[in-house]
Amino acid sequence: MNENYKNEQILTTADDIPAEEPKRQYYFIEKLKETVKAKSESLGRPLTCKVVTFGCQMNARDSEKLRGILELVGYEPAQSEEADFVLYNTCTVRENANLKVYGHLGYLNGIKKNNPEMVIALCGCMMQEPEVIEKLKKSYRFVDLIFGTHNIYKFAELLYLALTSDRMILDIWKDTDKIVEDLPAKRTYSFKSGVNIMFGCNNFCSYCIVPYVRGRERSRRPEDILEEIRRLCGDGVLEVMLLGQNVNSYGKTLEHPLSFAGLLRQAEEIPGLSRIRFMTSHPKDLSDELIQTMKASKKICRHLHLPLQSGSSRILKQMNRRYTKEQYLSLVEKLREAIPDLSLTTDIIVGFPGETEEDFQETMDVVRLAQYDTAFTFIYSKRTGTPAAAMENQVPDEVVKDRFSRLLSLVQEIGRQRTGRFQGQTLPVLAESVNEQDPSLLTGRLEQNIVVHFPGTPDLIGKILPVYLKECRGFYYLGERSPEKIYES
Ligand code: SAH
Ligand code: SF4
Ligand code: F3S
């Protein structure tokens, strides 16, 4: 159980509770079904739930697993946070992600005053920070259940405890080497899905809190990953996004090591699968084998997210990124040569401690040379406990803001020029949704992850269609369905 904090509620240890996972969780799923049924009968209406995700694709996938359990035990999904069970799956990568959660909690407390039955739960990365837990215990007593990233697989058990107790249930683990397979998930999209291939991170970039809140890197067994993809494809999924903080180091912790490229080649064989994406690639571990595998593949999308963070070799060293500006640029060159239609995207941090105007100009230089389709730009945020937080030469806010806006203009200018390069071509588009502004249009994506809007009806959602890219409007295209046949995998 919890080593880091004393649990406020001790688990019952009845003899009939299975010890091994996932059996134990299925036991609690059955108990929950009874509890939820009894509660909804006494209220004379179904119980509703809402899971809100903050943060990255990992959290989004975790939320699908949490929803899977909630729906299995009888909760109905609610449109808003006015629900009987509300769970915030939190992020703490930057301070504003963290502040957002406190803001939302105040709002939830207001809703709870009108619905005393309401259960409020928090999980995710922010809960792995001891200061956060102290603050919640002191000032947010209306929260009913708090758990972290390492014991998320125990959600059914923890929810059962929360529903059958009127005390705050708190269960946070410091770390784990455990991976629990075969728990349910409720996908957001019927035709695409994230698939975790690894958890945690061992890189300790000096600004980043993720290794502290997600624990050490561990890879799922290839047979479990491939089986999950096969099952998803059997259920209508065409596109998978393989998820990990550093997918390029996949497989190192396995009993029988396998490279990421090796895993991709096996995934390629799965019938029914049309598109394979992955995130995130650390430049220091991107192998020639991966480039060749992408080049030879018919299913791996022509898109690579390759976080730069900074273009200055001096700052990169301080960031503990373990590559230089020159190494990064030669990697880009190699990728462009091998895969000419590749779309390249990145993450950049502005204002890392000690960053000078010269360092910043090095970043601008890489942006010009690498020609990114999109770059996510972030203002450096000090995260307690990371080495960079203790660095003395933090950059003043006004200087950072000025650099940030100059970087953003450059990134947008290049992004706009780059996006237009497919104009006039007919390319496969996966139709993903009805356009939010104009319901006569569908919104989909090219392999390169570029958005395309085109006339179409909702029955086409989830299909890969040939679309003529008529007009580029900055970062997206307006297109028209081409009369050719539907693409098959
Ligand atoms: N594992 C991924 C990134 C995960 S976090 C990788 O290595 O690329 C997503 C992005 O958030 C990072 O790429 C980085 O650009 C940004 N980020 C992380 N910590 C940050 C911090 N303290 N301040 C600002 N941005 C940060
Ligand atoms: Fe953070 Fe670096 Fe790990 Fe990415 S690779 S999650 S930036 S420590
Ligand atoms: Fe945030 Fe955790 Fe992802 S800190 S970015 S949700 S791994």
Would you give per-residue pLDDT tens digits along the chain (489 residues)?
Answer: 343 333 444 455 566 899 999 999 999 999 999 999 999 999 999 999 999 999 999 999 999 999 999 999 999 999 999 999 999 999 999 999 999 999 999 999 999 999 988 999 999 999 999 999 999 999 999 999 999 999 999 999 999 999 999 899 999 999 888 889 888 899 999 999 999 999 999 999 999 999 999 999 999 999 999 999 999 999 999 999 999 999 999 999 899 999 999 999 999 999 999 999 999 999 999 999 999 999 999 999 999 999 999 999 999 999 999 999 999 999 999 999 999 999 999 999 999 999 999 999 999 999 999 999 999 999 999 999 999 999 999 999 999 999 999 999 999 999 999 999 999 999 999 999 999 999 999 999 999 999 999 999 999 999 999 999 999 999 999 999 998 655 544
Measured distance CA(10)–CA(436) in Å, rounded? 47
pLDDT of residue 384: 94
For position 483, what pLDDT does the model report? 81
Place of tokens 């009127």: 166
Q: Are strands 476-481 and 464-473 parallel, antiparallel or unpaired?
A: antiparallel
Question: Which two tokens mark 97?
Answer: 């992600």
Q: Atom 4 (ligand 1): residue with closest C-alpha?
A: 245
**DSSP 3-state of 395:** coil
Q: Return the amino acid letter for 56.
A: C
Residue whose pair of structure tokens reads 């999904």 in the numeric block? 77
Tell me which ligand sits closest to the C-alpha of residue 123. Answer: 3
Roughly what angle, to the nearest 10 degrees, separates helices 357-370 and 325-338?
10
Strand 426-434 with 464-473, pairing:
antiparallel
- Smallest Cα–Cα separation from 83: which of 57, 27, 45, 55? 45
Q: Is 200 in the pocket of ligand 3 (CB under 6 A)?
A: no
The torsion angles phi and psi of 174, rounded to 5 degrees, stand at -70, -40
Task: Tell me the backbone φ, ψ of residue 380, rounded to 5 degrees.
Answer: -55, 135
pLDDT of residue 487: 56
Contact 61, 103 (CB under 8 A): no
Q: Quote the radius of gyration of the chain (alpha carbons, Å).
A: 23
Residues 260/250, Cβ–Cβ less than 8 Å: yes
Looking at ligand 1, which atom is closest to the CA of residue 347?
Answer: 15
How are strands ordered across the β-sheet holding 76-77? 76-77, 48-53, 85-90, 119-124, 145-147, 169-171
- Please tell me the predicted confidence (pLDDT) of residue 116: 86
Cβ(40) to ligand 3 under 6 A?
no
Task: Tell me, in angstroms, the distance from the centre of ligand 3 to residue 289's CA.
Answer: 28
Q: Whose CA is nearest to atom 10 of ligand 1?
A: 347
Q: Whose CA is nearest to atom 3 of ligand 3?
A: 56
Substitution site in 59, 208, 250 for ligand 1 pocket (most atoms within 8 Å of beta carbon):
208
Task: Express the helix, strand and coil content of the chain in percent, nearest 5 each.
Answer: 40, 20, 40
Task: Supply the pLDDT for residue 15.
Answer: 67
**DSSP output for 110-179:** HHHHH-TT-EEEEEEGGGG-HHHHHHHHHH-TT--EEE-STTGGGHHHHHHHHHT-SS-EEE--S-----
> In whole angstroms, how far apart are CA 44 and each of 39, 160, 193?
8, 21, 35
The letter for the amino acid at 236 is G
| Res 12: pLDDT | 53
Which ligand has the minimum distance to the alpha carbon of residue 380? 1
Ligand 2 atom 4, closest CA: 245
- Specify the ligand 3 atom closest to the Cα of 245: 7
The alpha carbon of 381 and the centre of ligand 1 are apart by a number of angstroms equal to 10
266 Cα: distance to centroid of ligand 1 (angstroms): 29
pLDDT in the model for residue 117: 86
